[in-house]
Chains A and B, each alone.
Chain A
């Protein structure tokens, strides 16, 4: 089983739609979770951290389910500019290796 797994998509949605991505991870000791966004031929950039209680940033909501070892990202009222690849990132616990593991990403295409 891969350490971090994501559905590669693409998710093809119209403007204004709500879309959700899930990501599963295998290391139950993981402590830090993030969503990064990567535009075509660009470097990944942090979209948001994921907290145990769930967190929201404008149209974006991230949630963590430790029992089932998955995190999710919900995008409401999709914009054309949301088209990108969304990378799930998991970091191990402190005191060990600080090497974040990236999922392969989920591609989102928002069309008019």
Chain B
């Protein structure tokens, strides 16, 4: 597609429920990133995928968080047993893997845990 597409744009869920967030990167972009941004805060790195290499999961805050990516296409971020502190905007970005490494972001998925 022309840009990075994320769904849902907004999700309200109850504490303890599982949620799944989807990211469709720009075609041809081999690298895909998930970041989290809490209200009024900066971007917090979660996970990075590059082609068929093992993902860098070093930013995932707990084992309730997991993500998958099939090849160089769609990625899914799953949060199990959601907690109120998971409320944030989850941003996905993709890029060509070059030294310049310019990221293009999707519009984000705003998650609210009640």
Listed in ascending order, the chain A residues whose CB lies under 8 Å from chain B are: 31-32, 34, 42-46, 49, 87, 89, 91, 94, 97-105
Q: For A98, give its contact among B43, B91, B97, B104 (CB under 8 Å).
A: B97
Contact status B101-A102, CB under 8 Å: no
Task: Give the total number of A-B pairs whose CB atoms are below 8 A apart.
Answer: 48
Interface residue total, chain B, C-beta cutoff 8 A: 22
The 5 A-B pairs at the shortest CB distance, nearest first, are namely: A104-B42, A43-B105, A102-B43, A91-B101, A94-B99
Contacts of A42 in B (CB 8 A): 107
Bound-state Cα–Cα, A46 to B97, Å: 16
Tell me the interface secondary structure of chain A in the complex.
loop
Contact status A98-B42, CB under 8 Å: no
B73-91 vs A, Cβ < 8 Å mask (1 yes, 0 no): 0000000000000000001
Contact status B45-A99, CB under 8 Å: yes
A sample of 17 cross-chain residue pairs with beta-carbon separation below 8 angstroms, ordered by A number, consists of: A32-B100, A32-B101, A43-B105, A43-B108, A44-B91, A44-B105, A87-B42, A87-B43, A89-B103, A97-B48, A97-B56, A98-B101, A99-B56, A100-B101, A102-B35, A104-B41, A105-B42
Contact status B99-A31, CB under 8 Å: yes
Please tell me if B114 contacts chain A, counting CB pairs below 8 Å: no
B44's nearest neighbour on chain A, judged by CB, is: A102
B92's nearest neighbour on chain A, judged by CB, is: A43
B24-57 vs A, Cβ < 8 Å mask (1 yes, 0 no): 0000000101010000011101001010000010
Query: Known contacts being A34-B102, A91-B101, is A98 close to B41, with CB within 8 Å?
Result: no
